[in-house]
Amino acid sequence: MRVVTILFVLPLLSMAAVEAAAVEGCVVPAGVTATRPDPDGVPTRVTVGVYLIDLRKLNDSEQSFEADFILILIWKDPRLGGLDAESSLVGCEVELADIWDPHAVILNDRNLVGQFEAPVRIEEDGVVHYAQRFQGELTTPLDLRDYPFDSQELRLELVAAGFSPEEVEFVTSPEVGGRSENLTIADWSVGGERDIVTEPLFLAPQKRYLPRIVYRITVIRNRGYFVIKVLIPLSLIVCMSWAVFWINPRYLPAQVGVSTSAVLTLIAFQFSLGYLLPRVSYLTRADRFVMGSAVLVFLAFGEALLTASLADRDKDELAHRIDARSRFIFPLAFVVVVFVSFVI
């Protein structure tokens, strides 16, 4: 995986630590902010890079994630290079509002905060380096139907507001961007490759296109937590409800005691699951498993009442036959529930 060039990152981090002293004579020429560097020529090429420092949290129900990253924009404005030493801005660190910029806007920004005070530096030949470190929350559409065995695509969408694709062109470079190897997000594994797509964004109300670049990174949910906290305990509760099939149907108090214990345990467990399962309008794989398990527990309770009623009417042979068959039918039904929930 490619990483931001060390010679480029270190100066950026130093800018975040302290406000650099202004270069003497850094006066931006008049009119630079009003027009593009080449208004009558080809689109202004803006190289975009994202260096992911950290991922801290992914919120399923709110469809958002918290990130710490550096956004890098590089373009060339010969007007800032100057024709002589007196008018040159090479080496200057200025505010973005003082020069022309592509008006890059992060579309899925929910609560991002910039950290650098002077994010723009002018290099040789008027090459502009913009770098801003953002920390905060971004939105991203999540499809949780495969929860908890799902993988998600986290997105960062950047557009050039106020410009058309004929005016500003977003490009990428393998030397700009990357990610840290040590991410603190606990319950997800981050994929090794980034997916970068440059495609215009169509604004239907205005009937126009905006230049857009989309950074996508795949994360895979760690399944061990769900297996330990949900799958195994819930399976044990279901198995506990099958104990009634081995109890004599005439021992109604014992059968009812085991069945009600399983039902009450299941209800209490479902309340605790409310903090784990995502709150979405459609059924996830976990929802199917929980619902199927609940149906089996209540059916076992119903079977216990049925056999007890038959035994009370001196139909012991039929009651025992139902119990004997249930010992095979219910485990098979549970296998079907698992298969439907996590395989199909």
pLDDT of residue 328: 95
Query: Which segment, 240-249, 257-266, 327-336, is predicted with the most confidence on average?
Result: 327-336
The answer to whether residue 8 scores a pLDDT higher than 60 is: no
Q: Which pLDDT tens digit goes with each residue over 27-85? A: 776 667 778 887 777 899 999 999 999 998 898 888 899 999 999 999 998 888 765 54
Q: What is the mean pLDDT of residues 153-168?
A: 92
pLDDT of residue 82: 64
**Residue-range domains of the chain with CATH:** 6-221 (2.70.170.10), 225-342 (1.20.58.390)
DSSP state of 246: G
Which SS3 state, helix, strand or coil, does residue 73 take? strand
Mean pLDDT score across all residues of the chain: 84
The answer to whether residue 19 scores a pLDDT higher than 60 is: no
Rounded Cα–Cα distance for residues 74 and 122 (Å): 10
Q: What is the mean pLDDT of residues 227-246?
A: 89
Torsion of CA 157, 160, 161, 166, to 10 degrees: -130
**Range in 143-157, 210-224, 255-269 with the lowest mean pLDDT:** 255-269
HSE-up of residue 335 (Cα within 13 Å, Cβ side): 5
Closest CA to 292 of 231, 246, 338: 338
The answer to whether residue 113 scores a pLDDT higher than 80 is: yes
The answer to whether residue 246 scores a pLDDT higher than 50 is: yes
> 28-32 — which CB contacts under 8 Å span 24+ positions?
28/80, 28/89, 28/94, 28/98, 28/99, 29/79, 29/80, 29/87, 32/77, 32/79, 32/80, 32/98, 32/99, 32/100
Q: Give Rg (Cα) of the chain.
A: 31
241 and 300 Cβ atoms separated by less than 8 Å: yes
Q: Which pLDDT tens digit goes with each residue over 178-222? A: 888 888 888 898 886 678 898 899 988 878 899 999 999 999 998
Closest CA to 92 of 77, 72, 102: 77
**Range in 35-39, 288-292, 309-313 with the lowest mean pLDDT:** 35-39
Q: Match 């495969």 to its residue by tokens.
A: 146
pLDDT of residue 193: 66
178 and 190 Cβ atoms separated by less than 8 Å: no
Asked if the peptide bond before residue 148 counts as cis, ω within 30 degrees of 0, the response is yes
Q: What is the mean pLDDT of residues 131-143?
A: 93
- Amino acid present at 179: R
Q: How confident is the model at residue 137 (pLDDT cuts 50, 70, 90)?
A: very high
The answer to whether residue 321 scores a pLDDT higher than 50 is: yes
Rounded Cα–Cα distance for residues 1 and 13 (Å): 21
The answer to whether residue 1 scores a pLDDT higher than 60 is: no
Read off the tokens for 99.
Answer: 């020069």
**Range in 10-19, 136-145, 212-221 with the lowest mean pLDDT:** 10-19
> 83-90 — which CB contacts under 8 Å span 24+ positions?
86/25, 87/29, 89/23, 89/26, 89/27, 89/28, 89/122, 89/126, 90/122, 90/123, 90/124, 90/126
